[in-house]
Amino acid sequence: SQQGEEDPQALSIQEGENATMNCSYKTSINNLQWYRQNSGRGLVHLILIRSNEREKHSGRLRVTLDTSKKSSSLLITASRAADTASYFCATADRGSTLGRLYFGRGTQLTVWP
């Protein structure tokens, strides 16, 4: 069963704009991860944030985690056409098999040149 839920389901923006995607989840977690998937391809790991962290940066990516609200956000700054993909959040839950991930349904991001 799927644990995370991304919002919005689809997002369409122009190159240069920022893209923000949100993820809500239900249980206590060890960490939360964001992945990107280009059409017909496997998932690419973007960033991992642990339950005791609040914010993390990687290049143009910024991830926040609010464990009290059970939510996370992924911000992509200065978006490019190459950022067009589906973005998934995945949680590693406490009490679950160590490392097992629960994915949401994803946000489809389209960046227009």
Partner 1 sequence: GAGVSQSPRYKVAKRGQDVALRCDPISGHVSLFWYQQALGQGPEFLTYFQNEAQLDKSGLPSDRFFAERPEGSVSTLKIQRTQQEDSAVYLCASSLEEDYGYTFGSGTRLTVV
Number of residues binding to partner 1, judged by CB under 8 A:
29
Distance CA 87, CA 105 (A): 9
Q: Which listed range, 10-18, 63-71, 75-83, 98-106, lies at the site for partner 1 (CB under 8 A)?
A: 98-106
Using DSSP, state whether 97 is helix, strand or coil. Answer: coil
Q: Does 103 bind partner 1 (CB under 8 A)?
A: yes
Which residues contact residue 105 at a Cβ distance below 8 angstroms, ignoring those fewer than 6 apart? 2, 5, 6, 9, 88
Strand partners, 6: 23
Q: Are 94 and 41 in contact (CB under 8 A)?
A: no
Pinpoint the alpha helices (H) of the chain. none
Q: Which listed range, 12-20, 66-74, 75-83, 86-94, lies at the site for partner 1 (CB under 8 A)?
A: 86-94
Q: Does 52 bind partner 1 (CB under 8 A)?
A: no
Q: Which listed range, 10-18, 60-68, 72-80, 96-104, lies at the site for partner 1 (CB under 8 A)?
A: 96-104
Least distance (Å) between residue 49 CB and partner 1: 11
- Contacts with partner 1, residue ranges (CB under 8 A): 1-2, 4, 30-31, 33, 35, 40-48, 88, 90, 92, 97-106
